[in-house]
Structure 1
Amino acid sequence: SRVRGKVVGLTQFGAFVEVEPGLEGLIHISELSWTKRPKHPSEVVKEGDEVEAVVLRLDPAERRLSLGLKQTQPDPWQLLTEKYPPGTVVKGRITGVTDFGVFVELEPGMEGLVHVSELDHGRVENPAALFKKGQEMEVVVLHIDPVEQRISLSRKRLLPPPPPRVEEERPRRAKGKEARGKRKPKGRPEERREYEYGAVAEYNLYDASALPTTSVKLGDLYGDLLASLGLEEEK
């Protein structure tokens, strides 16, 4: 139900309204406005104002009456979900910059958060270095929670996508015969030598057992040389 009364007192936490002689109700500071977040009730009402309020709770035993001023107006958060469905692109004014994101005002007193991960495709280390309070920013609405009164926005989803990453081509591995290549010759080097009598012998340079066993005396070679010159060794 609704009641009318007169503001008879202001405190840090709310405004007292006299609804009838001897009966006062409290409008808590959080119940003064849907959109404003006043630091003091005097930002919304003044002492002596005549106001209309909605009864939120009544405790007859304690003679306590809780009132709400904002409930006399339509809930703008419900209207906001109809006006800005997910995917809506809108321009707003930056009202605050923090390490975790940027606050953008869509309607007077109604702000949404562009989380730092939604500012750009790349990582933004310091939002304050790129964005300033009072600047305009075009954003897209991701989600509106009228109960928690939170708006999630994105800037990066309106930016051109980054170029695709190009992976370096790895060298092609050779297969089959290409991988095997030419085989190196096995075994120890061999050499062919010619001996007297025109015989050809083949032996391994590193294998002494393969050396020829024919023995040739120095005297025999000397005699053959003299004979070839037409001389004979004197006896």
Structure 2
Amino acid sequence: MGGPDENPELWAFLESLHCGEILSGTVTAIERFGVFVALDDGPDHPVFPGVGFITIPELSWLPIEAAFDVVQVGRRVSAEFLQFDTWNLEARLSLRATQPDPFQAFADGTAVGQKLRGRVTKLVPFGVFVQVTHGIEGLVHLRELTPTPVASPSDVVQVGDDVTVVVTEIDRERRRLVLSRRHSSSEHR
């Protein structure tokens, strides 16, 4: 893409940005891998439709299928500056960083040992994922599914089943929720 010599204006602009700074712009293109944003205060990009770029995971705290679920071309956005991508000469941005993280709000109101109702969303070889509230899923390990061991999650539950689970771990850093179903049906040991 060229160094500071080839695109001095763009390079100087990107070097002037600070991590955590909020930049505004307009969505110019939506690709499979992310979203291009033409920044209000920045110069044009020599190759891409915008100097700002938001990867799919940085669009939303909630799992999304496609960028179209969150943004449309022509939409105005304000996003947090993450880093200067010197390889592509672009400003990596985060849209979700400007919004409250629903996982932290959930963690604030939830305690280990608490019972929750949820719906099974996915079966994996090592357990099942259960959605306990909008956008928040937790993992029930295979060994935590039943009091007695089973070979496969499908022996016990199917996708769409409503289940009662107990919170065994809330990891705020990794935004991970670990659940158990073993003790939810009966009282504690």
Residue deviations 1:42-95 (CA, integer Å, cap 9, x gap)? 222111111111111236897421110001111222222211121111101111
2:124 matched residue in structure 1: 98
Q: Which runs of 5+ in 2 are unaligned?
A: 1-20, 46-50
User: What is the alpha-carbon distance in structure 1 between the residues aligned to residue 98 and residue 119 of structure 2?
Assistant: 28
Amino acid at match of 1:114: V
Say which of 44, 53, 62 aligns to 1:26: 53
Say which of 49, 62, 72 aligns to 1:35: 62
User: What is the alpha-carbon distance in structure 2 between the residues aligned to residue 140 and residue 65 of structure 1?
Assistant: 42
Amino acid at match of 2:55: H
Residue deviations 1:3-29 (CA, integer Å, cap 9, x gap)? 211100111110000013515200111
User: What is the alpha-carbon distance in structure 1 between the residues aligned to residue 86 and residue 182 of structure 2?
Assistant: 55
User: What is the alpha-carbon distance in structure 2 between the residues aligned to residue 123 and residue 28 of structure 1?
Assistant: 41
2:37 matched residue in structure 1: 17
Percent identity, aligned pairs only, is: 36
| Structure 2 counterpart SS, 1:54 | strand
Amino acid at match of 2:69: E
| Structure 2 counterpart SS, 1:52 | strand
User: Root-mean-square deviation (CA), in Å?
Assistant: 2.0
Q: Which structure has the greater CA radius of gyration? A: 1
| Structure 2 counterpart SS, 1:158 | coil
User: What is the alpha-carbon distance in structure 1 between the residues aligned to residue 156 and residue 87 of structure 2?
Assistant: 58
User: What is the alpha-carbon distance in structure 1 between the residues aligned to residue 90 and residue 31 of structure 2?
Assistant: 16
| Structure 1 counterpart SS, 2:54 | strand
- Asked whether the equivalents of residues 102 and 135 of structure 2 are also in contact (C-alpha less than 8 Å), the reply is no
User: What is the alpha-carbon distance in structure 2 between the residues aligned to residue 88 and residue 78 of structure 1?
Assistant: 16
* Dislocated runs of 4+, deviation >6 Å: none
**Looking at both structures, which has the greater relative contact order when contacts are Cα pairs under 8 Å and sequence separation is at least 6?**
2
TM-score (ref. length: structure 1): 0.63
Are 2:164 and 1:138 equivalent residues in the alignment? yes
- Asked whether the equivalents of residues 7 and 15 of structure 1 are also in contact (C-alpha less than 8 Å), the reply is yes
Say which of 109, 115, 123 aligns to 2:135: 109
Q: Indicate the structure with greater helix content.
A: 1
Change (3 A) 1:2 1:121: same
Q: Which runs of 5+ in 1 are unaligned?
A: 162-235
